[in-house]
Amino acid sequence: MMKRTILCFLLILGLAIPAQAAPIRWVDFGVPYESLEYAMEKDIESFDQERHISWIDLLALAACRTGGRCALPSVKKAFQDLSGDKTPEELLGQTYKYYPYYHDAYQAVLGGLLGSYQIQVEGQWRPAYGLKAFSPIAAGYGYSHCDDFGVGRSFGFARKHLGHDLMGSLGTPVVAVEGGMVEAMGWNRYGGWRIGIRSFDSRRYYYYAHLQKDHPFADGLAVGDMVQAGDLIGFMGRTGYSDKENVNNIQTVHLHFGMQLIFDESQKECSSEIWIDVYPIVRLLHRHRSSLKKSADGWQRQYPYQDLDVEDFPG
């Protein structure tokens, strides 16, 4: 009798406490560049206003109404609606049930790109709020690119291209798009010399591949190091497609840049990894490029940088 009573109590308790939501297993990030740009500008414009409208909230609202397509008119309408007194739940009604998914997914994709930072100019730190992530290609270096996510690849086995290629010149400096910890570094038969950096919130894993033969990495960089957004991490090359290290088997000099989303650590290295199309993000980041200079002491940033949203940055 006692066991049955305890069992009934535990059953009632289990019904009363909502089950923890399962981690997101798939994200089809299809927000166009124009919508990203508009949402970002409205976020920045409203930052010092009484009602700050986050671009995550804005895009999540538009996504619920469009099934994730987020065409620019839908994002403009979402901004107009959020500028009023109604909450997303009031604005969406029954479709609000999709809002937590889109909000969490877009937070995972975009959460480290916009925020508070400061740069040092002529010895003075200048704080700002805005785009704090950087293009993976340093300022002053040309490149070309197109939306090539999902294109077929055949080396090793038939598969889809899960990144974005930026074509440039041999030795072009490659920088960290976002700050974080160097999680992987060395040779990979597909990516050649490559670096993997996990964002500070652990939601994004940035992958930089096909780095330069003989001198692929920034001097002194090692697994476990913390880097700031815009820090030099390596140099563009064409290594890879070989089990032998330090081999140029890629025909065209380019950087393979990818972003993997991680909602649960079981997603890190498995058959169902979540890689997204970063083409619109790379276009957005083109406006914010890290200025580097080379001297007898090596490469240095022209304008020292600090992410103000990350407390106690090591080193």
Could you tell me if residue 15 is inside a domain?
A: no
pLDDT value of residue 157: 53
Does 208 reside within a domain?
yes
Q: So what's the pLDDT on residue 236?
A: 98
Say what the pLDDT of residue 129 is: 98
> Are both 73 and 177 inside the same structural domain?
no
pLDDT at residue 222 is higher than 90: yes
For the residues 267-293, what does the mean pLDDT come to?
A: 94
Band of residue 112 on the pLDDT scale cut at 50, 70, 90: very high
| pLDDT at 272 (0 to 100) | 86
Residue at token pair 């010895």: 123
Q: For residue range 168-184, what is the model confidence (pLDDT) as tens digits? A: 999 999 999 999 999 99
What does the chain look like in DSSP terms, one character per residue?
-HHHHHHHHHHHHHHHSPPPPPPP--------HHHHHHHHHHHHHTTTSSS---HHHHHHHHHHHHTT---HHHHHHHHHHHTSS--HHHHHGGGGGGHHHHHHHHHHHHTTTEEEEEEEETTEEEEEEEE-S--SBPTT---EE---TT-EE-SSS-EE--SEEEE--TT-EEE-SS-EEEEEEEEETTTEEEEEEEETTSSEEEEEESBPSS--B-TT--TT-EE-TT-EEEEBB--BSSSSSS-B--SS-EEEEEEEE-SSGGGSSSTT-EE---HHHHHHHTTS---EEEETTEEEESS-EEETTSTT---
Do 173 and 240 share a domain, yes or no? yes
For residues 147 and 104, state if they share a domain.
Answer: no
Percent of the chain at pLDDT exceeding 70:
90
Share of the chain above pLDDT 90, in %: 83
Among 49, 82, 115, where does a domain finish? Answer: 115
Shared-domain flag, residues 280 and 225: yes
| Residue-level pLDDT at 17 | 32
- Shared domain for 78 and 153, answered yes or no, is no
Q: What pLDDT shows up at residue 151? A: 78
pLDDT band at 186 (very low <50, low <70, confident <90, very high): very high
Per residue in 64-78, pLDDT (tens digit) is 999 999 999 999 999
Within a domain: 85: yes
- Higher-pLDDT residue of 90 and 150 is 90
- Inside any domain, residue 202: yes
- Residue 227's beta-bridge partner residues? 180
79: confidence class by pLDDT, cuts 50, 70, 90: very high
Tell me the average pLDDT across 192-199.
98
Residues 163 and 236 in one domain: yes
Looking at residue 199, its pLDDT comes to 98
- Which range (150-154, 235-239, 266-270, 307-311) has the least confidence? 150-154
What's the total number of domains in the chain?
Answer: 2
State whether 149 and 290 are in the same domain: yes
Residues 51 and 195 in one domain: no
* Mean pLDDT on 181-205: 97
Q: In this predicted structure, what is the pLDDT of residue 190?
A: 92
- Write out the two tokens for 60: 């999540």
Residue 20 has pLDDT above 50, yes or no: no
- Is 19 domain-assigned? no
Residue 315 within any structural domain of the chain: no
pTM given for the model: 0.90
User: What is the overall mean pLDDT for the chain?
Assistant: 91
Rounded to an integer, what distance in angstroms lies between the CA atom of residue 139 and that of residue 143?
A: 11
Whole-angstrom distance, CA of residue 296 vs CA of residue 294: 7
161, two tokens: 């291209």
pLDDT at 116 over 60: yes
Which CATH number does the domain housing residue 181 bear? 2.70.70.10
Q: Which of 193, 181, 292, 167 is nearest to 245 (CA)?
A: 193
What range does the domain containing 228 cover? 134-294
Give a yes or no: residue 266 inside a domain: yes
Per-residue confidence (pLDDT) for residue 270, from 0 to 100: 84
Specify whether 110 is located in the same domain as 138.
no
Mark whether 138 and 100 lie in a shared domain.
no
Question: For the residues 20-32, what does the mean pLDDT come to?
Answer: 88
Evaluated on CA atoms 84, 90, 96, 100, the torsion sign reads: positive
Residue 301 domain-assigned (yes or no): no
Q: What is the pLDDT of residue 158?
A: 54
- Asked whether the predicted pLDDT for residue 2 surpasses 90, the reply is no
For residue 49, give every residue at least 6 positions away whose Cβ sits within 8 Å of its Cβ, in sequence order, or none: none
Instruction: Report the range of poorest mean pLDDT among 14-23, 187-196, 254-263.
Output: 14-23
Burial class (CB in 10 A: 0-12, 13-18, 19+), 159: exposed
